[in-house]
Structures are given as structure tokens and as C-alpha cells.
Structure 1
Amino acid sequence: MRSIRHTAVATLALLSTATITPAAARGQGPAPVDRAGIERALGRPSAVLPGGVVRIGMPRSDLRVRVGGTPIRANFALGSWVAFLPTPHGTMAMGDLVVLESELADVLLELQRAGIEQSAIHHHLAGESPSVLYVHLHAHGDALKIAEGVRAAVAKTGTPAPGREPATVPLPATLDSAALAAALGRPAPINAGVMNFSVPRPETLRAGGHPVPASMGLATVMNFQPTGPGRAAITGDFVLLGAQVNPVIRALQSQGITPTSLHNHLLDDEPRLFFLHFWAEDDAVKLARGLRAALDVMTATP
């Protein structure tokens, strides 16, 4: 009997071959992703991001996770997602599923059944309760079949369907978005009270030989969730080259920001990228200045 792993690889190969369009074969570029079809397959709305990426979020608003005394909002650190990128040889998909330990085995089985590979399984936070894992996924082939596979995997979790999310407790304060933007030197949107900064890398990034835009989950992310007047919790990840990892760790530590996890998210990225996650809870502007210092170190380290 062929193993699940072999079946997954064979499925991906068949999907990739089957989805080469005539236009792509003639060198006219890949066809756009079937956004409406993906939305139907996943049963959720999507957003179109730079680079022709179609992304669907699946927040774990069912979970009640805390780090110390801080409750974690879904849009702060508990957001599952999958993104689709057109390529000349079918659609590339990347994503990140937030799962409880009790959900992990069933989620992995559904992904492998659908020919969707895992590129990482790990923690992002430290000391959270209950413990949460992040399953990074990668696939290349027919977008609708990938979307159906992701939906089957998500169905093995407690992720609420759109419109069925439980009510959330109001945040204890609001963020001074202007002060945080000034400290970090860039604007950022506020989503349901949480401020989300994103900083793309300067290089052309590739996965499996294909150029991949930062909107596929390859940008440095810094999220702020208010915890009280003038205060915030922060988490996210710096996307780094190997030579940048330890200088940025030291920069974060010098600012009272704790690195919580270091790992890869991809299997075949060029250049090789390392994702450094972090956590702190303190004065919000102080934390923003600390993150800016770490960004400056990242930029200054070749």
C-alpha cells in the first residue's frame, strides 16, 4: 500500500500538470486565481492582496487563550488563513492553521488526503493557555481542490463559520494609532481594535523557484492589542536572513521584548528565511520604539 506521503506527492504532481492553462503554455502569464470559486469552496469571503494574491481568513474566535493575564484576540495571534497565488503551472497556496493539540492529528490527516503538504508545525507564543499550534501548509495545483482540502481540515477544528462567531469582550482601551505609526515610521490599519504593521523584505523571494510576494505571508508582522490605557501587548514575527537572526534577538532583548520562537515556515524558499516570533506587554509607544530599533538592526545587517 502506498503511504499517505507518497499519495500526497502524486496528487500534487497530477494537479500541477492538470492546471497548466493554454495561455500559460504560450508564455502569456498565469491566469488569475478563481476568486469566486475559492470563496464557494471555503465558504468564506476573500480579500485580494498585492501580487494577485487571494487570501481567506479563518479566525479562531472560538478559542479563549491567555498569555499570563492577557486574553488573546483572534485577529491578534489566532488567525488561520490560506492564500492563493497564480503561477504558470497552476495555483500556489500557502497558509497557517491555528489548532489545539487535540485537533492536530485529524487536521494533518485531512491535509495529506488532499495532497496539501505541511512545511512547519510549531508554537508562535510562549506560555499560552491552552497550548496552541500553528500548522503551515503548502500546495501547488488546482485552486478549488486545494480550497476544498483546506475546508475539510478546518472542519476538524472548532473554527466558527462566518456569522456564527461568539461575541467578544470589548477591549479595555484604544490604541494611539498616530503615536504608534510615528514611532515605527509607517502607518498601519486597525482591525477591530488591533493594529497590524507589515514590513516586506527588499529581496525577490521565491518558493519552489516561483517569485512569491510578501502578501503570501512573507512580511515582518507586528501586532498591537491594547491591554489598558496607554498599554499594549505585542506579538508577530520578523522575517530574517540567517545573519540577521541573532543581532535582531539581541536588539529585541535590549528593548524588553522576548523572542518566543525561531523557525522556518517554508521548505524550499530562496533565500532561506527564518521567522523570529516575539512577545511583550508594556507601554505601547515604548514597545513601538523597541520594535523600530530591531527593524533598524535588521536593515543594517546584510
Structure 2
Amino acid sequence: MRTPPHALLKAAGIPVLALLLAGLTACGAQSGTPGHHTDMTAHAAVQADDDEGHRSLPIATTDADWKPVTDALGRTGKFGDNNGVYRIPLTRTDLHVTTKGVDIKPGLSLGGYAAFAKYDDGAMLMGDLVVTEAELPKVTDALQAHGIEQTAVHKHLLEQSPAVWWTHIHAMGDPAKLAEGLKAALDATAIPAPAAPAATQQPVDLDTTAIDSEIGRKGTADGGIYKYSIARKETITDGDHLLTPASGVTTGINFQPVGGGKAAINGDFVLTASEVQPVIQALRRGGIDIVELHSHSLTEQPRLFYMHFWAVDDGAKLAKALRPALDATNFKPAS
């Protein structure tokens, strides 16, 4: 059974004022024809959030919907946002990257991805590919040859060896064709085949309880990295499509233990224009370096900017320094 569109709205943190005003909260069991948004409560909520007209939600999908994608790529992913987004990891476990004397674990900074979502008018591909400087021109050519847009090219780290770049991608169309184009780009890299998940989680040698207390929410241990993914409150759109958090529009904060209770932190804040300067000022007050400020997309609304950061210090001290920057953004509170 497909998840009703209003459940996707709730999971994505999208306001549902229209549902409350209409007194329809008891109608959660309504659902339309599979693959189409005929649930009028969801349409009403979208209309209340967007006076210019309808914005379509991702359609809840199953593994079978993405079989042409997984067959073409030889990789599988995981569902997010009530099965509205299918996200495939493209982590550079093959690279040994160092920055400022720190050996970068793949989970800290090298985790590329491809996120697929189905809408009423076709499938959307959004993602971030981690490529070496030598691979970048070949990846660009492959993407352009297959009609996949590059929406950003930038770095996530300061001085680094070898030189690594991140390129964001976007396309709409048939899922199998999108996967074919993505596969051509991946073939221009040395991104390895996916490895089997570890039987047990690597320990995180940090006081995660203290870090959680300072950040104000609970993080997740993943591959020896302690991570936070924090959604914004606003409804975020790209053209006629609502973007849910798993598509890549969240603030990411990652802690990598480096010994003695210290951590290297890296990630990015997702910001509106008015938040950029307050967040820069908050980070610098905490001794945290600004790495990059850029956009990831071309046509999203509200206009979003991504600020990458870096520091090495006591883990709880860094979390305390990060919190004022987080508080300067319109983030969704922890559940």
C-alpha cells in the first residue's frame, strides 16, 4: 500500500495548516489511485503553503519501482521520507584523503549519493558525486552527454591531498534513463562497488552524551563517525516539486574522533540568505573555519546556500561552538 501523501508531508516537516482548518485530521486513511495524488487533504495542505498553485509530493514507492535503477547501477539504496525518496550511497572508500594532518574517514566527508524520487510527471534525480580532480572533466562530459545537469562544483575541505571535488547533479525523466546516465558518470571514476555492511558498528571514541547535550538532539553512529542530519522547517520546492529532507536539503554535522576526546568536524549548514552572515559570525566565534559557501541547486525555493566548515578540538567544546550557529537557522526541532 502506498503511503498517503499527507503522511509524507508530516514526515518531511511540511506545514499542514489546511488540514487543521478543514477539520480533516481524522481522514488519514484516505488514499488515491496508486501513483496519483487524489487525497484532497494533501492538495489542500500544499495549496495553503503555496498560493501560486499545486506543488507535487514524491510518491511513495517500493523496491520494484527502482529495479531498473538498481539493475543499471549494480547498487541498491535505502528508502527515506516514508518511501518517498530512494537514496543510493556512492561513498569514496577507495580514497586516502588527508587535510591539515587528519586522515579523513569516508563517512566524514567522502559520502556521495544519488537520491531518486517519483512525482506525478516523472522521476527526479538529485545527488552529489565525490570525484578526484583528474576524474572531474570526464565525469562532467559523461553527465552532459546524458542530459544530467551539474548544479554545483566545489570542495568540502580546505587543504587536502589528493585534490577532491564534489559535483551536485539534477535531472528529471525516466528512471532507467537517469540511471544509465549516472552509470556513465560513475564509470569515469574509481568509485568502488558497494561493500557489505559491517556486522557491528565501529566504536565512536567521543563523549557522545555530552555532544548530544550541546547540540540539543541525539546523533547517529555510522562507520566510526557521529552524525546529525537536521531538516529545515520550511516547505522547499524545485519548480513544481516538493523536496523532502532525504533528497539532500538538510544540515549535516559530522564528528570524527582523532584521539584524546578530540574530533575533526565537517559538514554543511543549509541556509537562507538572511542566515548566512549570522552563521559565519557564530562559527568564527567558536573558532570554526569556513570552508565553502555555495548553492547546491539552481531553482529551489526558498533560495538555499550551503556553508561547509572545519575544526579540530574537544568534541563537546566543538558541539557547544556549533550550537549558536544552528540556533541562527530555521531548523526543525528534534522530535
TM superposition score normalised by structure 2: 0.77
Structure 1 distance, partners of 2:172, 2:38, is 19
Partner of 2:329: helix, strand, or coil?
helix
- Partner residue in 1 for 2:312: 281
Task: Provide the identity percentage.
Answer: 43
Give the RMSD, CA atoms, in angstroms. Answer: 2.4
- What does the per-residue CA deviation read over 1:187-229, in whole Å, with 9 as the maximum and x for residues that have no partner? 1111111011011010000012211001111001000100012
8 Å contact 2:239–2:299 — kept in the other structure? Answer: yes
Which consecutive aligned stretches of 4+ in structure 1 deviate over 3 angstroms post-superposition? Answer: 22-31
Tell whether the 8 Å contact from 1:97 to 1:134 is kept in structure 2 after alignment.
yes
Does the Cα contact within 8 Å between 2:87 and 2:114 map onto a contact in 1?
yes
Find out whether 1:152 has 2:184 as its counterpart. Answer: yes
Change (3 A) 1:175 1:108: same
Aligned residue for 2:293?
A: 262
Give the equivalent residue in structure 2 for 1:14: none
Structure 1's 296 and 25: CA in aligned 2 closer, same or farther, altered over 3 A? Answer: closer
Q: Give runs of aligned pairs for residues 154-233 of structure 1, distance below 5 A.
A: 154-163=186-195, 174-233=205-264
Q: Show structure 2 runs of 5+ residues with no match.
A: 1-32, 40-55
Shift of the 75–91 alpha-carbon distance from structure 1 to 2, 3 Å rule, reads same
1:74 offset after TM fit, Å? 1.1
- 2:163 corresponds to: 131
Contact 1:172 1:227 in 2 (8 A): no
Helix, strand or coil at the partner of 2:93: coil
Structure 2 Cα separation of the partners of residues 299 and 145 of structure 1: 36
Q: Secondary structure at the match of 1:54?
A: strand
Tell me the TM-score normalized by structure 1. Answer: 0.85
Q: Distance in 1 between matches of 2:154 and 2:304?
A: 16
1:49 corresponds to which of 80, 85, 88? 80
Q: Which runs of 5+ in 1 are unaligned?
A: 1-21, 166-170
Asked if the contact 1:94/1:137 (under 8 Å) is kept, the reply is: yes
Match of 2:303 in 1: 272
Tell me how far 1:124 sits from its aligned partner.
1.6
Q: CA 1:31–1:289 in structure 2 vs 1: closer, same or farther (change >3 Å)?
A: closer
Q: CA separation in 2, counterparts of 1:178 and 1:121? A: 36
Please give the alpha-carbon distance, in whole angstroms, between the structure 2 residues aligned to 1:124 and 1:26.
38
Residue type at the aligned position of 1:160? P
Would you say the 8 A contact 2:66–2:175 is kept in 1?
no
CA distance in 2, matches of 1:217, 1:201: 11
Do the aligned partners of 2:204 and 2:221 also contact (CA within 8 Å) in 1?
no
Match of 2:270 among 239, 254, 269: 239
1:31 Cα shift?
Answer: 6.7
Equivalent residue, structure 2, for 1:101: 133
Tell me the number of residue pairs that the alignment of Structure 1 and Structure 2 aligns: 276
Name the CA distance, whole Å, in 2 between partners of 1:94 and 1:164.
24
1:298 Cα deviation from its structure 2 partner = 2.2
Counterpart-to-counterpart distance in 1, 2:287 and 2:72: 44
C-alpha distance in structure 1 between counterparts of 2:296 and 2:210, whole Å: 32
Q: Of 288, 291, 294, which residue of structure 1 is paired with 2:325?
A: 294
Distance (whole Å) between structure 2 residues aligned to residue 26 and residue 266 of structure 1: 26
In the TM superposition, what are the counterparts of 1:6-17 in structure 2 within 5 Å?
Answer: none
- Counterpart-to-counterpart distance in 1, 2:303 and 2:328: 19
SS state at 2:328 partner: helix
Mark the CA change 1:142 to 1:229 in structure 2 (over 3 Å): closer, same or farther. Answer: same
Asked if residue 61 in structure 1 is aligned to residue 93 in structure 2, the reply is yes
In structure 1, what is the equivalent of residue 121 of structure 2?
A: 89
Provide the secondary structure at the position in 1 that maps to 2:209: helix
For residue 237 of structure 1, report the CA deviation from its aligned partner: 0.5
Bigger CA drift: 36-45 or 178-187? 36-45
Whole-angstrom CA distance in 2 between matches of 1:147 and 1:180: 39
Paired residue type of 1:222: I
For the Cα contact (< 8 Å) 1:116–1:149, is it kept in 2? yes
In the other structure, the counterpart of 1:112 is: 144
Residues 173 and 229 in structure 1, CA contact (< 8 A), matched pair in contact too: no
Q: CA 1:109 to 1:220, structure 2 compared with 1: closer, same or farther past 3 Å? A: same
